[in-house]
């Protein structure tokens, strides 16, 4: 779809991205302005909506996905209900200039969804900014606006032990910054090249890795620069045996998966997407075998804007308090802010979850 007006100063395009051969949807495809990092991501059905500032409508929109040939198209060339077909492709290597580490800011949208015993009990959605001063130092964080904060009735255990702000988990699990040794360089890991793919006109190696019996990974690595393009890591208990991951307050993690995807801009790789899913068994206490409940938190971070020029002049306010819940720091809902903020298109399942949680929260408040 193509739409826009002068008053709103935005042009909106939308569509669905599929494999040109199989017609299967392509989730987590990148949709962004060429030469700028302003964009969004397709949902698991391949659908997207992208709000483009009107001063950028003369630039092509790029749509890309690992293992496929990218396409470029001017915003006014997107037709209503467009089906965008990406063709599988492998291309030749090209030169990349790697620059020095400099401060930058990324803006993104976070969806935090939590379940207990298979029932959804919480959904938080909010917009953030991250200010990175250098590679090794954790970023400063600005909580901009909260779109949803729905909390249903949780198990009483949470009143005492729940981590009030789970957002920080996303930053702590950044293996690239903090613990790349978790999946590289340790003797137990075994590696095998599975495929050679393309991504944004680059050749990428797909490498399967395993650290028996608990850990598996799939690594997508640029064939020339050896930069990570995507990381998929899973840990699962095996034959009733738990892998070592801090048991506290009666919690035992039994399943863990995380995904990182990066995108090249001006010769450097920047985070584009991050997802973490966990499953915990919660026992009465650390010495007990009596199960209270299971919990399944899922957090996703979608990057929709990158700022690398004049960083010190860009508006930023460090305000996130990590020892307080997100909802307690939220300002009143700002409809104008969210009107053209680039959020991944919500699936029917996500809409249904949000509505059920909204009703459950209202029932608690009555």
The pLDDT of residue 150 is above 70: yes
Task: Give the mean model confidence (pLDDT) for residues 250-258.
Answer: 89
Same domain, 46 and 177: no
Confirm if 283 and 291 have CB atoms less than 8 A apart.
yes
Same domain, 32 and 140: no
For residue 187, what pLDDT is reported? 63
CA distance 309 to 104: 8
Same domain, 140 and 9: no
8 is a domain residue: yes
Task: Give the mean model confidence (pLDDT) for residues 212-229.
Answer: 88
For residue 317, what pLDDT is reported? 95
Same domain, 262 and 302: yes
For residue 94, what pLDDT is reported? 43
Angle CA 273–349–11, to nearest 5: 60
Same domain, 30 and 112: no
Same domain, 62 and 113: no
Same domain, 8 and 54: yes
91 is a domain residue: no
Question: At which of 86, 115, 149 does a domain end?
Answer: 86
Same domain, 30 and 109: no
The pLDDT of residue 95 is above 50: no
Structural domains in the chain (count): 2
Task: Give the mean model confidence (pLDDT) for residues 167-194.
Answer: 70
For residue 15, what pLDDT is reported? 94
172 is a domain residue: yes
Structural domain including 10 reads 2-86
Which tens digits make up the pLDDT trace of 313-327? 999 999 999 889 898
Prediction pTM value: 0.85
Same domain, 135 and 26: no
Q: Mean pLDDT, the chain, as a whole number? A: 86
Task: Give the mean model confidence (pLDDT) for residues 11-22.
Answer: 93
The pLDDT of residue 255 is above 70: yes
Same domain, 182 and 305: yes
11 is a domain residue: yes
40-53 residues labelled b (16+ CB within 10 A) or e (exposed): bbbbebbbbbbbbe
Residue 35 belongs to domain with CATH number:
2.60.40.1120
For residue 14, what pLDDT is reported? 93
Closest CA to 296 of 113, 68, 72: 113
Please tell me the least confidently modeled range out of 44-48, 75-79, 145-149, 274-278: 75-79
CA distance 322 to 325: 7
More confident residue, 339 or 286: 339
The pLDDT of residue 96 is above 60: no
355 is a domain residue: yes
215 is a domain residue: yes
Same domain, 15 and 131: no
Question: At which of 86, 120, 138 does a domain end?
Answer: 86
Same domain, 203 and 328: yes
294 is a domain residue: yes
């Amino acid at each position: 779809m193509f739409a826009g007006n002068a008053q709103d100063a935005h042009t909106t395009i939308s569509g669905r991205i599929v494999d040109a051969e199989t017609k299967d949807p392509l989730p987590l495809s990148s949709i962004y302005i060429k030469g700028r990092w302003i964009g969004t991501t397709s949902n698991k059905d391949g659908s997207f909506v992208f709000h483009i500032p009107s001063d950028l409508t003369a630039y092509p929109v790029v749509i890309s996905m690992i293992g496929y040939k990218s396409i470029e198209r001017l915003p006014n060339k997107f037709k209503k209900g467009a089906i965008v077909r990406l063709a599988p492709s492998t291309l030749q290597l090209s030169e990349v200039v790697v620059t020095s580490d400099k401060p930058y800011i990324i803006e993104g949208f976070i969806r935090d969804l939590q379940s207990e015993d298979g029932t959804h009990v919480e959904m938080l959605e909010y917009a953030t900014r991250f200010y990175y001063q250098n590679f090794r130092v954790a970023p400063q964080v600005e909580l901009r606006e909260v779109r949803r904060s729905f909390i249903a009735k949780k198990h009483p255990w949470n009143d005492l032990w729940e981590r009030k702000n789970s957002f920080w988990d996303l930053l702590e699990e950044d293996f690239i910054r903090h613990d790349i040794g978790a999946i590289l360089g340790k003797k137990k890991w075994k590696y095998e090249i599975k495929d050679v793919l393309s991504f944004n006109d680059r050749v990428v190696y797909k490498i399967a890795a395993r650290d028996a019996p608990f850990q598996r990974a799939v690594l997508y690595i640029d064939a020339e620069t050896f930069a990570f393009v995507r990381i998929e890591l899973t840990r699962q208990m095996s034959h009733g045996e738990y892998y070592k991951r801090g048991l506290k307050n009666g919690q035992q993690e039994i399943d863990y998966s995380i995904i990182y995807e990066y995108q090249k801009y001006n010769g450097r790789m920047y985070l584009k997407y991050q997802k973490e899913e966990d499953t915990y068994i919660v026992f009465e206490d650390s010495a007990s075998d009596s199960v209270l409940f299971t919990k399944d938190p899922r957090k996703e971070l979608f990057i929709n804007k990158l700022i690398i020029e004049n960083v010190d002049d860009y508006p930023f306010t460090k305000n996130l308090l990590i020892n307080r819940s997100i909802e307690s720091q939220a300002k009143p809902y700002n409809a104008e802010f969210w009107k053209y903020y680039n959020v991944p298109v919500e699936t029917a399942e996500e809409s249904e979850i949000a509505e059920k949680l909204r009703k459950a929260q209202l029932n608690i408040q009555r």
